[in-house]
Structure 1
Amino acid sequence: MGWKSSLAIKFHLGFWFYLVGGGAVYYYIEDPLYHLPPQPKTMTINATFCQHLVNLVENYIRNIVNVPLEPNDSTVRKKVTRDSCNDLTNSGKSEENGNHDVAWEFSSALFLCMTILTTIGYGCFSPNSSWGKVFCIFYGLIGIPICGILLANTSDYFSNGFLRLYKQRQSKQQRDKWHGIFIAAIIFLLPGLVVFFFIPAATFTYLEDWSYLDATYFSFVTLTTIGFGDIIAAQETNYPQLWLYRIGWIVWVMLGIAYWVTIISFITKALRSKRLRERWEKTSHAISLQAKEMRRIVKQLSTNDLNGNFAFTALKSKIAFDFSSKLSTFIGSIRAERKRQPPPDE
């Protein structure tokens, strides 16, 4: 195992420790607030609205029984007014704050940290305490770049493998066509769509009782880090293994986002490889022309030296020196290109 592989493994382990550590901190900070008694909300009923409702009921009764109500017969009006207003008032007392609708446990804290690091930000869990909000700022400032580097390294590794496979399966003529790169990207993208979109969508349909369209929509919104938060998985508290469900969600998010970035990285590298191949061919052609010119100059130099034409010899010596400088510049640029990326395969 090379030092790069060892460093990558350590970096991955460090990220997961950072995630778990952040979850532990948030679980400790936010746990008391999530277990506070829910604060009831009251609904103020406008008297005019109640009177309007009573009038509607009177008109409805009058149309049904076809018997006009006497003006002094207030029994129905009083009863309807009292019952309607009481029902409307009581309906607001059972409403609670959003954070108390979901269970808070350690897996919830991990869920929160994952939405911070991946910038998905559903909004189902959020810091409520002052310390939690302060910690979110510093945790995100450090963790978001770490997550970005992790995803970049992972996608770079797999995209290089895709690029090698692409070069092996395509001829040089096919690789030089722009549309071939995008066709190959679509071919490599299809297995990922099945594994990270369609199969998880079927799983969410079963576990969350969603439609398949909603489940696919949720998968796309999550893995592209759009994160609207209109529908969210792993929030129901009646699952016997809710913590396992949330851990599976975290793993799915990391792998899915990494695969998505891998495809984008593959397209970028394939296009860059094509441009590099074009530059390589142009440079090789220019060097070939300069080499032919050099051979012609040397041949003329040898001929004029024998004839004693020293002025011509000096002139051609200067031309030869200029060519040597240009040749050195070409060779230096080629070496620099080779350090950045190996020459394209033929």
Structure 2
Amino acid sequence: MDQIIRIGMDTSKHFFQLHGVDAAERPVLRRKLRRNEVLAFFAKLPPTVIGIEACGAGHYWARELRKLGHEVKLMAPQHVKAYIKRNKNDGRDAEGLCEAMSRPTMQFVSVKTEEQQAALMLIGVRQQLIARRTQLGNAIRGYATEFGLITAKGLDKLEPLLARIAQEERLPELAREMFAAHGREYARLQAELKAIEARLMAWYRANADSRRLAKIPGIGPIGATALVMKAPDPRLFPSGRHFAAWIGLTPKDHSTAGKTRIGKITRAGDEMLRSVLVAGATAVIQQARKSRGRASPWLLALLARKSPKLAAVALANKIARIAWKLLVTGESYDGARMPDASALAA
């Protein structure tokens, strides 16, 4: 077999498709492997460059193949799609991966360590618990409404509602039993959520970058921890604008023939980080509208010409740029520079 300089590997649950080329870009390897054959095959292969999509288990395979001496490059699936020919199949997917990784402008995803992925589980489990708590709270309110028991919105109103239901003797016994079961489930979720958040706060206190980011208005401990955990090496981004675009805080651009057409932000990027930053920016705007004397002149000028929702996205974009600057330079946040345009770290 000729010397293989690059291999594209299309992964799946059971079968992995390989496509390798030599120095002349001629295909010299087309092979399908079972999952349990992959490591044994690459252990016998001279060190080479392997391209994998950054999808499920992608980071695991990157770590394992690196242990065998290979260089592994992870790519976002949307960046690989343009290199896949018509009539999609596993072979063409592997060929597209092999071609995409050869492009000089291709952007690669940093391989996460096991410790990083374990830390990310904290954020993921917290989101799942919050979603289940919201679902359960809505169910309790909905069932209670059927019996004429209405309460105001808010998590702090649920426990008084459950206590009121427990004392409501006119309710059928079966309904009271079901409400009691919901109440026990809600209490369990609250306890689990507090335990997870305690672990997150411990991680936050132990991480210097998280503590520095939390000093930025609009970023709290949870947002700072999520930024450090989920964002790749900030030095991979040429500027703060690219970092904000990676999160998904830049508008859709569909410009041609010298005409600029800027749309709204899309679902591209990291949804969790985007929602956290926009929520934090919304809180900053609410405070600014209450106390205009202490608000940033830049923010007041923005609110004068944009709606609060658009201003929140713009401020979230600015916060992301400041966060990138602090992560790259190791500096601490200086509130005195907030009105200055240099704080954008463009």
Is the helix fraction higher in 1 or 2?
1
Q: TM-score, normalised by structure 1?
A: 0.23
Q: TM-score, normalised by structure 2?
A: 0.23
Flag the structure with more relative contact order, 1 or 2, with Cα contacts below 8 A and sequence separation at least 6. Answer: 1
